[in-house]
A and B are shown apart, each in its own frame.
Chain A
């Protein structure tokens, strides 16, 4: 097979990149998944433990589960250093890790197995175990929250796992079947099944004690259905805001949106992403915990405020960013590092992910050790009146050669160019200047990161700035390590496999 071990396979997000339509990206990335799977199933499974997007990991899990894990034609499925259950453990580890930060994405990954996001349905015993253990092998408190926040999705997953017939039997009191599939993980979960399939859970099942949120849900639903506004308003603070808003809209309750946006429950991320909506709704501003946010989301929030001249909380966001950058794990590229950041128009990204490449570039700067100088090429600066904040927005062309000259003048030993690789100047000027410096004894390294990610960017849209500077596509600042591992993988597959086995043993456990 054609070896195509590009880190793009771990960084796919189903949204268009600037230069490529999403279906083209998907085709390219699917080819990579198929290729690596066919080449080495164990390597494929192990690769999925590296940092990557939720979608990529979901698709890779789907690939593993939709192909039987029995040895074929003498090929060894389990390499030395791994246990026979390693695939299941990898799948479970990926799901749990994803769920810690993006539960919605973890659930969508499971839904891929039920035919979601253009995938084929996979229905086998391994799949059933993966789904049901993920949903029910956890404390009642967590199941309670999941069943409220993802009711429809969980119902779909349970129906897919059990099949219509068994589900019917379970709902109609077949306790043996319940114990076999769900009770073995959590014996108390029957009220949850009733809730998921719109049967009012029976109080006799001890629902209040184990699943208070489900109880609140049904109380709120009852109040909404009977127009008991007073009771419903009392319950709003106990409900996730989307659920409360759903009841308000379905039952046409005469309650202001602001009452729900201001009082109902929100996750840290939701508080940040709905900050503007809350303000528009007229509700009093919620206290957003900026310190709990991801660096990318903080940059996004800062740029949103800068673009809209909103000064509130801007200092808090800046402080949270500073703290985040100070404490984050950094990649050491060597001493005395300078960054040349392309702020040209194309770094704005696609309409579906506006500002994504540029924000990724900004995050990457924070994730690099020893950055002494940042040289911005192109862009349009904007200051905010009444604050000391000034940011650059992607605009104009990017004569990257100027950035390189400035970085060399600064005496940098390691120069990181964050750019889509299009010079927007006379083509070749970067390389011309680069070669001159190299040939005349200047001692520095240049690395090129391309955040205008596309699955096939190494051969497609990422241009090479100089002959000996290979562009690295990085769609998320968290994937820098992944990119470096993939770079080695191209040269030495077996050595990388050993690195991944060690990583597996460290993260998931050995024999």
Chain B
């Protein structure tokens, strides 16, 4: 078994940016050079659902393949909301239909065909369900409904209903919506940021590395909001995560303003330095190929402790990593 830190060695000049923390969530930005040759995010578009459980994406770039970040979801009017079962690769100037997608709005009919959609990434809890290779590859549109119901069940403001598996009941609820927006506003991408380590109460819950800073800039909000922010709300409301905030360093009363600056800087530096041992402690349990397109290979990583996610390589060099831990 390799440690997660070794898996991360593929990123050249990987550095750590300014630590950002709000309530129980801490985001440690990872900065570095771009990876591989991947289409800019603007070239990739969700186009339609052809049947329940299918999602089509188009890559308009004529030179480079595009990567759909893991578990992207689309929500819109007069059609059933959908989510990807994993990440996806769409080759240059082409469309690709993913037939193992999940419906995430059980009693709404209709297909998407070009209308405006809101995008996000599935909450961590639901992403974890899709780490099971059998569930991920299954072509059954309702495969996530049971888990969605369970996920929604602990949330006080979500409309109750026997068989209702509408993830939008959470995302459209005004209080949760505002909380997620406010939450996302507390974090900002930093220069050359290509990824982040996300922690709840100081424990890693996610590791995301995109092919470039442009990709991070395009997707960070959906990750922080939809994936990690929503999970944090869920955990807090269901009492699974105790309230906590980072304890700030004591400043001696006789400290000069220059000393204050040094104490606070040291505090931040210590957090940055704590990353390596944390990642070193996470072991990669298995790594299996789930998709191959041209020179792009997607593998499903499983970590000890029930986490995992996708790593995508281009010409055998990793260009994308998304793990929920």
Contact = CB atoms under 8 A, between A and B. Distances in A.
A439 interface: yes
A432 B188 contact: no
Contact of A346 (B18, B29, B185): B185
A422 B186 contact: yes
A19 B181 CA distance: 7
B261 A405 contact: yes
A425 to B, nearest CB: 6
A420 B182 CA distance: 11
A398 interface: yes
Given A433-B260, A436-B260, A425 B19 contact: yes
Contacts of A442: 257
Interface string B247-262: 0100101110110110
Contacts of A461: 181-182, 185
A408 interface: yes
Interface string B1-41: 00000000000000001111111001001000000000000
A204 interface: no
B191 interface: yes
Contacts of A460: 178, 182
A397 B18 contact: yes
Interface in A324-345: 344-345
Contact of B188 (A344, A401, A429): A344
B181 to A, nearest CB: 5
Contact of A408 (B190, B191, B257): B257
A20 interface: yes
B160 interface: no
A130 to B, nearest CB: 38
A433 B268 CA distance: 14
Interface residues of B, number: 34
A427 interface: yes
Contact of B18 (A399, A409, A427, A436): A399
Interface in A403-458: 405, 408-409, 420, 422-429, 432-433, 436-437, 439-440, 442
A345 B17 CA distance: 15
A346 B188 contact: yes
Nearest to B246: A426
A402 interface: yes
Contacts of A423: 186
A82 interface: no
B51 to A, nearest CB: 32
Contacts of A378: 188
Contacts of B267: 426
Given A422-B186, A426-B268, A439 B18 contact: no
A284 interface: no
B3 to A, nearest CB: 27
A20 B251 contact: no
B226 interface: no
A397 B185 CA distance: 11
A439 B23 CA distance: 25
B166 to A, nearest CB: 21
Contact of A433 (B253, B264, B271): B264
Interface residues of A, number: 36
A426 B267 CA distance: 10
Contacts of B309: none
Contact of B21 (A20, A409, A426, A436): A426
Given A432-B248, A440-B253, A426 B185 contact: no
B60 to A, nearest CB: 20
A427 B260 contact: no
B245 interface: yes
A226 to B, nearest CB: 45
A395 interface: yes
A396 interface: yes
B195 interface: no
A221 B18 CA distance: 63
B270 to A, nearest CB: 11
B264 A401 contact: yes
Contacts of B186: 422-424, 427
B187 interface: yes
Contact of B181 (A20, A398, A409): A20
A346 B251 CA distance: 30
A329 B251 CA distance: 41
B182 A424 contact: no
Contacts of A427: 21-23, 186, 245-246
B123 interface: no
Contacts of A346: 185, 188
B69 interface: no
Interface in B218-265: 245-246, 248, 251, 253-255, 257-258, 260-261, 264
Nearest to A456: B178
Interface string B159-191: 000000000000000000010011001111111
A31 interface: no
B171 to A, nearest CB: 14
A380 interface: yes
Contacts of A18: 185
Contacts of B248: 426, 428-429, 432
A462 to B, nearest CB: 10
Contacts of B21: 425-427
B245 A424 contact: no
A426 B20 contact: yes
A117 to B, nearest CB: 23
Interface in A454-490: 460-461
B170 to A, nearest CB: 18
Given A345-B189, A395-B191, A428 B261 contact: no
Interface in A1-60: 18-20
A432 B20 contact: no
Contact of A424 (B20, B181, B251, B268): B20
B264 to A, nearest CB: 6
A328 B248 CA distance: 43
Contacts of B261: 402, 405, 409
Contacts of A439: 253
B118 to A, nearest CB: 11
A425 B221 CA distance: 17
25 contacts: A345-B188, A345-B189, A396-B18, A396-B188, A396-B191, A397-B188, A398-B188, A405-B261, A422-B185, A422-B188, A424-B187, A424-B188, A425-B18, A425-B19, A425-B21, A426-B267, A426-B268, A428-B248, A429-B264, A433-B251, A433-B264, A436-B253, A436-B260, A439-B253, A460-B182
In order of increasing CB-CB distance, the 4 nearest A-B pairs are A426-B21, A345-B188, A397-B188, A436-B251
Given A397-B20, A397-B29, A426-B246, 10 more contacts: A396-B189, A396-B190, A397-B188, A401-B264, A405-B261, A420-B185, A425-B20, A427-B245, A428-B246, A437-B257
